[in-house]
Chains A and B, each alone.
Chain A
Amino acid sequence: MTDTKKGTMDRREVLRAIVAQRGDVLMVTGLGSATYDAGTVDHLNTFCLWGGMGAAAMMGLGLALAQPDRRVLVMTGDGEMLMGIGAFATIGAQRPKNLAIAVIDNEHYSETGMQPTHTRRGVSLAGVARECGFAGAETVYTEAELNAVVPKLFEGDGPFFAAIKVNTQRYPMSIRVRDGVHLKDRFRENLLGAERAYY
């Protein structure tokens, strides 16, 4: 299981490659770098978590169950995903067809001093997803592999999981809107319409 390959892709280029194909996908991002990345390509169909570490995947499940006709994509980091690792089992048991999870895996806790996460030490999140019954689960290291996996985030039966290995490049935190009430209200208003969003 120990993996000696290293991620070389740039996280922001990965993000741009993914959002270029987002269409009308509903997106949830996990706290930390994934949310900062998303802030550079802000969208009304994106809900960014700034807290609740470990929440992203399960938030995606609740959203996917509520909106079965829409594709839901969770983008988060390896540390955030590891904190909610039980979500793999819960989602694997539930098998929502419209849910995909992409972990931008730099194998480190970027926010707290670049301590290695378990994925640096050989734990395979795609392996966990696969054994939990996800319809598909892949780990990608190269641009060619990324280009092949991105369409699977948006179509085909889920739950689908991709660990996208990136380098440890850090970017300055983009101070974007982070008030949760505003983020929630604008997401719901855009999705449900004002009347239903505020009833």
Chain B
Amino acid sequence: MKQEPTPRLWPGEIFQALKRSDVKQVAYVPDAGHIELISNCEADADMTAVSLTTEEEGVAMLSGAWLGGDRGALLMQSSGVGNCINMLSVPLHCRMPLLMVVTMRGEWGEFNPWQLPMGQNAERVLQDMGVYVQRASHAEEVGQIVYAGAQLAFSSNCVVAVLLSQRLLGFKDWSK
């Protein structure tokens, strides 16, 4: 996805929300929507950022992190949601907290039709598994929603996915 021309503040606000929530391990499969956040996490001395080959590795890794006393966050694009489904059995059955921050594709002005099946169904599939979904669609609410989602996950030992609407990320207009 193409970056917006104007600087955006919400990635920094997500980072601050993770810091305030004492997140120590950040696992990710890169997405353009997470560029700034990944760089911030990589640069932070108190965080370990781990690049994954596939998203379900992060579900397992952060379950291990929790066993060892670390809080974690898993960053991905909506296409990665499907890769996680069976692995979510681990935190769901064991009642371990997990915070997922998902940048959405396949919705707001999507140009690539291959993104639609997973993008349009990611929210429902997560909810079907028992994941609590919170959605952020406006720049000014992103930091607050991620922070509240983190509190929900870590205080109530549950799996929370914050979906960042594609509307936040803008889209490439292929009609021009």
**Which residues of A come within 8 Å of B, CB atoms?**
26, 28, 47, 49, 51-67, 84, 86-87, 89-90, 93-94, 180-181, 183-184, 187-188, 191-192, 196
Contact = CB atoms under 8 A, between A and B. Distances in A.
Main secondary structure of the interface of B (DSSP, over half): helix
A62 B60 contact: yes
A65 B56 contact: no
A31 B70 CA distance: 23
Nearest to B72: A62
Interface stretch (B30-38, B46-54, B162-170): B46-54
B166 to A, nearest CB: 27
Contacts of B63: 52, 55, 59, 62
Contacts of B93: 51, 180-181
In this complex, the member of B65, B67, B69 whose beta carbon has the largest number of chain A beta carbons within 10 angstroms is B67
Interface in B95-135: 95-96
Given A61-B61, A86-B54, A87-B57, A67 B68 contact: yes
A93 B24 CA distance: 18
Given A62-B62, A184-B94, A90 B67 contact: no
B51 to A, nearest CB: 7
Interface residues of B, number: 32
B86 interface: yes
Contacts of A89: 53
Given A65-B25, A66-B24, A184-B95, A58 B64 contact: yes
Interface string B1-28: 0000000000000000000000011000
Nearest to B96: A184
Contact of A66 (B51, B53, B68, B96): B68
Given A61-B64, A184-B94, A51 B89 contact: yes
